[in-house]
Structure 1
């Protein structure tokens, strides 16, 4: 889904004030995110994401009831418009500063202290999107690379299923990065709730370990994260398994953009080559 298609869906939905062409594009990935007035609309890539969109709205309501700082929905129901799920949210005020690792850790402590909600939280299917992303990539990527990622997916899925956690399982954010924290006038809050799950708490902590190892997160930021949370997941013997699973998923996620973006293809090839070579020092770049 490109921006033009997303704007067509936005126009058909009629959920934002003003003309769809005037709405500000905030992000374009699995969702196109637009803002106008005091509202934000998320347009999903395809109808397969409708159930996830509905669950995200229920999670937002649950977090509001639990007093966890997070983005709040403006409409309780998701729409399906021309085959695309559309949800509407309250627009956040401008950030007062960038979110840091400590902000994320403090919010995760709140989430990880919550009991399981009445909302039916799925397992964190970290590898569940691999097949769809590779299918979207089509013949833009080397078939041998796609086959390699499928093999890695199957191996890490089996290994992850056998893990013994250090922390008690329960609600997790599922994509715990500072980019999913917004620091407004009232303090930090969580955004992008669509990956909320009920699973190993370690999933939320491995993300930052991988950010340090692969994406250049400074050591002092990672140390601030572990100090604020109270534990370093790298001390857990299962860390390498969840890290390997997330690396596999991250490669496949980039692949879906390869047909229309040469930079995405180059980043995909960089990532796959580093995995094939077993070189954990190769820097990956956010996309």
Structure 2
């Protein structure tokens, strides 16, 4: 189904999705978040009753109920509705980490292969440049449960409802973090401003008007680019990585990027 930070395999004959990852801590967090959301009636994908996570070949596998996606695809207003509902939930009854994408970005860069060393150095310095401001912003903002990677690709629409999926980046942080991917999509991925306006209206706030938006946008763009660095050895991913690096070096916030997945 998907090969990225994790690998997802559909097992429709038994109604499961197998999610293969590397971290027991992340797997346990995903399961805890999903079970808690289900207890609160939030539209999410449920883990199966299978004892899990399962260790296999040095990896961790979790199993989830298979929910086939249907047409039409979920809209940005669907995403806004889900985020509005998510952010209205009470604080979770279990500990979650404070929002901090920088350790993951640095691990990606430390493990990078097949890309230019000067690109790795540039991205490392870019992380250094924004990290302090990011932590200051998070510490000074109201904090609550955030999805952590709230883009439309993590919304699934089946025959009768829309579901927010993928909880590996869930954390405690400012609500604005979950709105940044859609706001950024206007300049980076060609989202029509009218669709973004509908998203902001449905959620009830325009994150681009918030004083912390520039810091959150810069951080989000680094998370997207360091993710891409893992698969940028050849082909379309290499071309897209080169384009993103050029725009970041130039400080060009309007350069159009392209979604590969």
- CA distance in 1: counterparts of 2:181 and 2:51, whole angstroms: 30
Query: Is the contact between residue 100 and residue 221 of structure 1 (CA under 8 Å) also seen in structure 2?
Result: no
- CA distance in 1: counterparts of 2:69 and 2:154, whole angstroms: 14
Matches within 5 A, 1:23-34: 26-34=1-9
Q: Which residue of 1 aligns with 2:17?
A: 40
Matches within 5 A, 1:34-183: 34-36=9-11, 37=13, 38-44=15-21, 46=22, 49-74=23-48, 75=50, 77-138=52-113, 140-163=114-137, 168-183=142-157
TM-score (norm 1): 0.85
Provide Cα deviations, 1:204-261, integer angstroms capped at 9, x if missing partner. Answer: 01111111121111212111100100110011111000000111121111111123x3
SS of residue in 1 equivalent to 2:226: helix
Provide Cα deviations, 1:128-185, integer angstroms capped at 9, x if missing partner. Answer: 22122223322x2121111111111122110111227897320011111111111122
> Paired residue for 2:230, among 256, 273, 280?
256
- CA distance in 1: counterparts of 2:207 and 2:222, whole angstroms: 19
Q: Which residue of 2 aligns with 1:277?
A: 250
- CA distance in 2: counterparts of 1:62 and 1:250, whole angstroms: 28
Provide Cα deviations, 1:67-107, integer angstroms capped at 9, x if missing partner. Answer: 10000001352112111110000000342420011001111
- Quickly say closer, same or farther: Cα 1:89–1:164, change in 2 above 3 A: closer
Query: Is the contact between residue 166 and residue 236 of structure 1 (CA under 8 Å) also seen in structure 2?
Result: no
Q: CA RMSD in A?
A: 1.6
Query: Is the contact between residue 52 and residue 61 of structure 2 (CA under 8 Å) also seen in structure 1?
Result: no
Give ranges in structure 2 of 5+ residues lacking alignment.
Answer: none
Query: Is the contact between residue 45 and residue 65 of structure 2 (CA under 8 Å) also seen in structure 1?
Result: yes
Number of residue equivalences: 257
Give ranges in structure 1 of 5+ residues lacking alignment.
Answer: 1-25
Query: Is the contact between residue 27 and residue 168 of structure 2 (CA under 8 Å) also seen in structure 1?
Result: yes
